[in-house]
Structures are given as C-alpha cells and as structure tokens.
Amino acid sequence: MYNLVATRLTKRYAHIPAVDDATLALRPGKIYGLLGPNGSGKSTLMKLAAGLVHPSAGEVRVLGGPVCPAVRAQVAYMPTEPYFPGFMSVKQVGAFHADFFADFSTDAFKRLAERMELSMDMKVSQLSSGMEAKLKLAVAASRDAKLLMLDEPLNGVDLLARDVILSAIIERADENNTILISSHLIDVMERVLDEVIFLKRGRVVLQGEAEAVRARHGKSIVDLYREVYAS
C-alpha cells in the first residue's frame, strides 16, 4: 500500500532531535518533495529510511516491513555527499552496483553517463565535483527501485545537466515506485513534484499536493516556502 511509512519517527544526536516525531506515509506512483533549510532533518529522514541510521524512537517501515537487507535491495538512496572511492573508474562504480543490486541496469547507466558526458574510464579521483554529482545521480537513476530517495540531486550540477537529471527522474517515475527528492532549488523542482513535505527543525510542518497548494493559495511553492520558514 505505502512504500514508506514513518510513525512518530525520532532521531536524536546528543539529545538534539534531527528528526522529531515525524509521521509520513508515502504512496507509490508519486514524486514527493522534501523541503526545508539546512539542518531541518531531510537527510537524516532519508538515512533512516535507507537503514544507514537507526531511530531513537518511533518506527520507519519501507515496503511494508522494517528496513532489512531484503527491503534495502529495492531502495535506492543518493546521499548529498560524494561517496565513491577515488580509485574506482566510472565503469567500476557501475560494475560494483551491478554486482550488488539485481535491479541495476548497466545499459541504463551507460546511456545516462553518456548523456551526462561522463567518460567510463575516468577515475573518481579525477572527476570534478559537478561530474561526481552527476555520477551519483546516474547510479541512483539506473536502479529500478521501489523507493528512490535523492538528497539534493541538483546540487553542484550545471544548468544543462539539470535538464538531463530532471528528465532521468521523470523517466524513472512509474505507478509502482515512490520518488522522494529533497532540494533547495524549489523553483526548479516544483513542476516535477506531486506532493510537498515541509520539514522544520525535524518536524513535519506542512504536507500537501503541489497543485492543490498552488490552486488554493494562488502562490507558488517557493512563496509558500518563504512563508513557512520566515520566522
């Protein structure tokens, strides 16, 4: 029914909650935007769903179950930070993911890498930060995951490559998977989002359909964002 359910999910680091009593239910066939300023808990929330971090309180269930290896095989998480070892070539990064993930398509990866002008033989250590950002995205988008979580996919990416990335995201979306995107670049992402979730200091402060928000308030998500975070 739901691809991601968080129930009163809390994560504390040294008594400070990064995610605070968050309750969410994400449906398949939708693209969700996770919005909020730095430190509002977006990354932590994704890491909780990806199994990289464990809850202090509450629960997170993905694809109907706890975040165990079998479930994680169907979850693709793209962190904000670069995380590929410098010694690997682009091709080897693809091979690594093909080894461990049954839903990874090497063909799709090669095509995406080509569209993003990434040479297969270049070592990760030789890539500029923009190219590394594109590689991260290419890896995530080459997986046929039921839950695809992208943490700031447009960060550090040049204008032209942004279109490639947005197209790749749209292409991935189908009626069975859930895509969760966190981004600062709301004005660019708006048109791609079905629903928006606003996080403030780890709490879910607003949730709703993007178009409904626009229609009801007569303002863009960007405007709404400003309102929510003005204080």
Partner 1 sequence: MMKLLKYELQRRRTLLPGAAIGMLFIEGAALYGIYRGGNWNTLAIAMTMLLAVGGLLLPMLDAVTKLYADYKQKQGYLLFLTPQGGYRILLAKTVFGALEIAASMLLICGCLALSAALLDRFQYGAATALLSSVGAQMGDALTTGMLFTFVGLAALQMIAQMCVALLAVTVSRAMVQSNRYNWLISLAMYFALAVGINMVNGVLLVAFGFVGDVMRLIRDESHALRMLGKYFAISAGTYAVWAAACTAVSGRLAGRSIDL
Partner 2 sequence: MEYDSRTPIYLQVADMLKLRMVRGELRPGGKLPSTRALALEYGVNPNTAARIYDEMEALGLCRTERGLGTFMTNDESVVRALRRQMAEKLARDFVREMTALGYTKEQMKQAIGEEL
Helix, strand, or coil (residue 150): strand
Distance of alpha carbon 40 from alpha carbon 1, whole angstroms: 28
- Asked if 58 interacts with partner 1 (CB under 8 A), we say no
CB 3 within 8 A of CB 195: no
Looking at 51-59, 150-158, 166-174, 194-202, which segment touches partner 1 (CB under 8 A)? 51-59
Separation between Cα atoms, residue 206 and residue 190, nearest integer Å: 15
Q: Please, what's the largest Cα pairwise distance for the chain? A: 51
Which of partner 2, partner 1, none lies near 53, with the C-beta cut-off 5 to 8 A by kind?
Answer: partner 1
- Does 92 contact partner 1 by CB under 8 A? yes
Compute the Cα dihedral for 152, 156, 162, 168 and give only its sign. Answer: negative
Among positions 165-224, residues that touch partner 1 (CB under 8 A) are none
Nearest distance from C-beta of residue 66 to partner 2, angstroms: 29
Please state whether beta strands 195-200 and 30-35 pair in parallel, antiparallel, or not at all (unpaired): parallel
- Give the residue, chosen from 192, 205, 206, 228, that forms a contact with partner 2 under the rule CB under 8 A: 192
Closer residue to partner 2, CB minimum distance, 69 or 218: 218
- E-strand ranges in the chain read 4-13, 16-26, 30-35, 57-62, 75-78, 147-151, 178-182, 195-200, 203-209
Among 32, 101, 109, 225, binds partner 1 (CB under 8 A): 101
Residue 152 CB contacts under 8 Å (≥ 6 apart), including other chains: 80, 182, 183, 184
Q: Which does 158 bind (CB under 5 to 8 A by kind): partner 1, partner 2, none?
A: none
The one of partner 1, partner 2, none whose footprint includes residue 81, by CB under 5 to 8 A per kind, is partner 1
Considering only residues 6-35, where is the footprint of partner 1 by CB under 8 A? Answer: 13-14
Q: Which of 15, 38, 65, 100 binds partner 1 (CB under 8 A)?
A: 100
Shorter beta-carbon distance to partner 1: residue 148 or 164: 148
Element (H, E) at 226: helix 221-229
Stretch that binds partner 2, among 38-46, 98-106, 133-141, 183-191 (CB under 8 A): 183-191
DSSP-derived 3-state class of residue 93: helix
Residue 78 pairs with which residues in a beta bridge? 150
Give the binding site for partner 1 (CB under 8 A).
13-14, 47, 50-54, 68-70, 72-73, 77, 79, 81-85, 87-88, 92, 96, 99-101
Give the binding site for partner 2 (CB under 8 A).
29-31, 163, 166-167, 170-171, 173-174, 187, 190-194, 211, 214-215, 218-223
